[in-house]
Amino acid sequence: MIDPAFSAKGRFWRGNLHTHSDRSDGVLPPEEVCRRYRAEGYDFIALTDHFIGLYGYPVTDTRRFRTEGFTTLLGAELHSGAMANGELWHILAVGLPQDFTPPEAPGFVPVEGQESGAALARRARDAGAFVAIAHPEWSGLTLEDARSLSAAHAVEVYNHGCAVGADRPHGFWTLDQLLTEGRRLTLCATDDAHFTEPDHFGGWVMVRAEENTPEALLAALKAGRFYSSTGPLIHDVRWSGESVRVSCSAAATVIALGAGSAAVARHGESMTEAEVPLARLGNSPWMRVSVIDRAGRRAWSNPVFRDPA
């Protein structure tokens, strides 16, 4: 089993995949959003304003804010159709072309006859986007809802804005259920920053690519060459038949997780390396790693699969 985030050529680039500006319901203009992320040491962001008629269906153009050390990916948060709870779908699409055809989505309330969320996600993927199921816990997403988004590359497992504003930041249950059913998905952490509250600089991805360019980053995202974090760094993850070896920044806990209740933890003081046995995960078709530091901040590897696709 090989995790491409730690075996591919290149280096890690830090980025946020879910951000809003005053082109939709954020409070800062796109230029200032980009400036703040650049000033905080990010290598890239995707500005993903709400793609609804209320805001003119924006795919906000941030290309002029790129610099030698900072780049941007075009994208949007897509909406159309109702989930099982009657609320509107939220679908993250990074790498969306500016001429992407809008659905009939006038506002944040579903309307009769709209394109379904599943169909909209499929169109976005077919148009070249990296597609993620946004904030499942915050949305009240059912498992049947999640199953319907067959075009998704990833599940948003941590959303900092949802943590700060609603205490509903997670998507791990959704991800793990789909993985156990056989879906090949990755996971991502994001900000969902609007700058209306402290909803920024809290969750990000570390993408392994040879260049900090939109094309290289997008290809790496689709290929799963990244991990996600709210603080810790993961330097290396090596899987074998009996154990997983993790190299990371100072950690208090390293956990290997699999399907159902399968999990094994190693605890220590300022651990920078840990080896976790996998016997308890022997029946799981997939496995992933969590790294937790003394402050409770976390980093997560993408799943690996016993049966290569």
pLDDT per residue as tens digits for the range 169-205: 999 999 999 999 999 999 999 999 999 999 999 999 9
Question: Using one digit for the tens of pLDDT, what is the confidence trace for 37-83?
Answer: 999 999 999 999 999 999 999 999 999 999 999 999 999 999 999 99
pLDDT band of 2, cuts 50, 70, 90: confident
Give 271-284 pLDDT, tens digit per residue: 999 999 999 998 89
In whole angstroms, what is the distance from residue 250 CA to residue 294 CA?
Answer: 8
Domain shared by 238 and 215, yes or no: no
* 101 strand-pairing partners: none
One domain, residues 192 and 241: no
Of 197, 228, 259, the last residue of a domain is 228
Instruction: Check whether residue 39 and residue 146 sit in a common domain.
Output: yes
Q: Is 253 in the same domain as 121? A: no
**pLDDT interval class at 298 (50, 70, 90):** very high
Is beta strand 91-94 parallel, antiparallel or unpaired with respect to 130-133?
antiparallel
Asked if 148 and 81 touch (Cβ cutoff 8 Å), the reply is no
Residue span of the structural domain in which 85 resides: 4-228
Q: Which pLDDT does position 36 carry in this prediction?
A: 98
Could you tell me if 76 and 190 lie in one domain? yes
Say which amino acid occupies 114: Q
pLDDT of residue 140: 97
Q: What is the CA radius of gyration of the chain?
A: 19
CB 156 within 8 A of CB 190: yes
Count: domains in the chain? 2
* Contact status, residue 250 vs residue 270, Cβ threshold 8 Å: yes
Residues in the chain: 309
Pair (252, 163) in one structural domain = no
Rounded Cα distance between 290 and 172, Å, is 12
Last residue within a domain, chosen from 198, 228, 258: 228
**pLDDT value, residue 308:** 75
CATH code for the domain in which residue 251 is found: 2.60.40
What pLDDT sits at residue 205? 98
Same domain, 264 and 179: no
Q: Are residues 141 and 28 in the same domain?
A: yes
Where does the chain have alpha helices with state H?
Answer: 30-39, 117-126, 136-139, 143-148, 160-166, 172-180, 214-223
Q: Are residues 148 and 223 in the same domain?
A: yes
User: 275 and 219: one domain?
Assistant: no
Residues 6+ apart with CB under 8 A from 96: 59, 74, 75, 76, 124, 127, 128, 129
* Mean residue pLDDT across the chain: 97
pLDDT tens digits for range 215-273: 999 999 999 999 999 999 999 999 998 999 999 999 999 999 999 999 999 999 999 99
CA distance 222 to 115: 24
Residues 146 and 218 in one domain: yes
CATH number at residue 213: 3.20.20.140
What is the Cα–Cα distance from 75 to 45, expressed in whole angstroms?
10
pLDDT tens per residue, range 89-135 = 999 999 999 999 999 999 999 999 999 999 999 999 999 999 999 99
Which of 178, 200, 228 terminates a domain? The answer is 228
Same domain assignment for residues 31 and 86: yes
